[in-house]
């Protein structure tokens, strides 16, 4: 009966997920139609990253629009430390009228450090697709930060974090433009269901072995299908640093799952599990670890 309730809940959540995806798409379309911005409008230049923690943004005032309908902005505030060299083209605010040097050359001479945006002498050309209203941009980045916090709470085994909250986060990832996070959130949900029942009762150590074994099978199949992910994992283990933005959350999730699966074998009460199930669990864990050691 409990299993049936869980299945029905997941079906309902899946339906809601696609509704939210559609609404998110419509919101993005309507947002795009709300442009163009006018001179003196205060705007938010969004420069999101796949791992969220390296997100950057610029708040600025529109000072011009070029022939390609991209915006020239004067910087009001920005995230320090990010390299803006690929996102912005510097322009001198007031070039000397008799200067023979190109304004672009002068601007690049002034902009020595591309992690620092010069506010007094320079303004910057940014792509229109990265520009949005100030309140919309702030809301987007707050939502992204909230998702990062939720994922961090799962990694730290926060006791009050429910599977439902992780499912909600999966839906929110669409609107927050971080769809690459969804596979990791799906693994997090399955991991959480390996330790808690549908009423959020913590499983005894021996009760978690079977669902954890199924989770290990899910991870194994995932790596078998995605060779790029497997290569990213190998690089992560070799360098001890997760640098692949697209797979950042997935690698973090798999790393936690493997650590928890190994720890489960040493929990009190594990001796109550049938030898056959323990043998199967160890086999899946070993098979996965061996698979992940080879490129």
Query: What are the start-end ranges of the H helices in the chain?
Result: 2-33, 103-110, 134-155, 163-175, 182-193, 205-225, 227-239, 248-264, 275-293
pLDDT tens track for 70-102: 999 999 999 999 999 999 999 998 654 444 445
**Least confident interval from 4-13, 205-214, 246-255, 265-274:** 4-13
Question: Tell me, what's the pLDDT at 20?
Answer: 43
pLDDT tens track for 138-180: 999 999 999 999 999 999 999 899 999 999 999 999 999 999 9
Over residues 217-241, the mean pLDDT reads: 89
Question: Tell me, what's the pLDDT at 239?
Answer: 79
CA nearest neighbour of 57 among 187, 155, 145: 145
**Least confident interval from 104-113, 251-260, 280-289:** 104-113
Over residues 228-237, the mean pLDDT reads: 88
Question: Tell me, what's the pLDDT at 23?
Answer: 42
Question: Tell me, what's the pLDDT at 126?
Answer: 98
CA distance 86 to 84: 6
To the nearest 10°, report the CA torsion of 132, 133, 136, 140. Answer: 40
Are 44 and 57 in contact by the 8 Å Cβ rule? The answer is yes
pLDDT tens track for 45-72: 999 999 999 999 999 999 999 999 999 9
Does the structure show a pLDDT above 90 at 36?
A: no
Are 217 and 194 in contact by the 8 Å Cβ rule? The answer is no
Question: Tell me, what's the pLDDT at 35?
Answer: 63
CA nearest neighbour of 71 among 83, 79, 59, 82: 59
Does the structure show a pLDDT above 90 at 24?
A: no
Question: Tell me, what's the pLDDT at 19?
Answer: 41
CA distance 131 to 66: 14
Does the structure show a pLDDT above 80 at 281?
A: yes
Percent of the chain residues past pLDDT 90, beyond the cut: 73
Tell me which of 236 and 95 has the higher pLDDT. 236
């Amino acid at each position: 009966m409990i299993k049936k309730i869980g299945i029905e809940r997941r079906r309902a959540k899946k339906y809601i997920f696609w509704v939210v995806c559609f609404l998110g798409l419509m919101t993005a379309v309507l947002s795009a139609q709300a442009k163009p911005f006018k001179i003196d409008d205060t705007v938010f230049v969004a420069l999101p990253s796949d791992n969220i923690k390296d997100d950057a943004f610029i708040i600025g005032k529109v000072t011009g629009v070029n022939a390609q309908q991209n915006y020239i902005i004067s910087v009001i505030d920005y995230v320090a430390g990010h390299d803006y060299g690929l996102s912005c083209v510097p322009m001198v605010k007031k070039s000397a009228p008799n200067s023979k040097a190109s304004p672009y050359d002068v601007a690049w001479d002034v902009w020595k450090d591309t992690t620092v945006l010069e506010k007094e002498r320079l303004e910057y050309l940014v792509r229109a697709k990265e520009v949005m209203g100030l309140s919309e941009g702030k809301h987007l980045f707050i939502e992204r930060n909230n998702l990062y916090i939720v994922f961090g709470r799962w990694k730290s085994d926060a006791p009050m974090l429910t599977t439902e909250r992780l499912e909600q986060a999966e839906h929110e990832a669409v609107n927050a433009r971080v769809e690459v996070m969804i596979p990791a959130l799906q693994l997090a949900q399955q991991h959480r269901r390996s330790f808690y029942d549908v009423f959020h009762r913590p499983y005894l150590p021996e009760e978690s072995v079977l669902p954890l074994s199924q989770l290990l099978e899910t991870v194994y199949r995932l790596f078998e299908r995605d060779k790029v992910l497997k290569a990213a994992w190998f690089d992560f283990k070799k360098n001890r640093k997760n640098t692949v933005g697209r797979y950042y959350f997935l690698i973090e999730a798999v790393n936690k799952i493997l650590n928890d699966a190994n720890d489960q074998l040493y929990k009190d009460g594990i001796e109550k599990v049938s030898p056959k199930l323990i043998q199967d669990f160890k086999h899946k864990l070993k098979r996965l670890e061996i698979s992940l050691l080879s490129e």
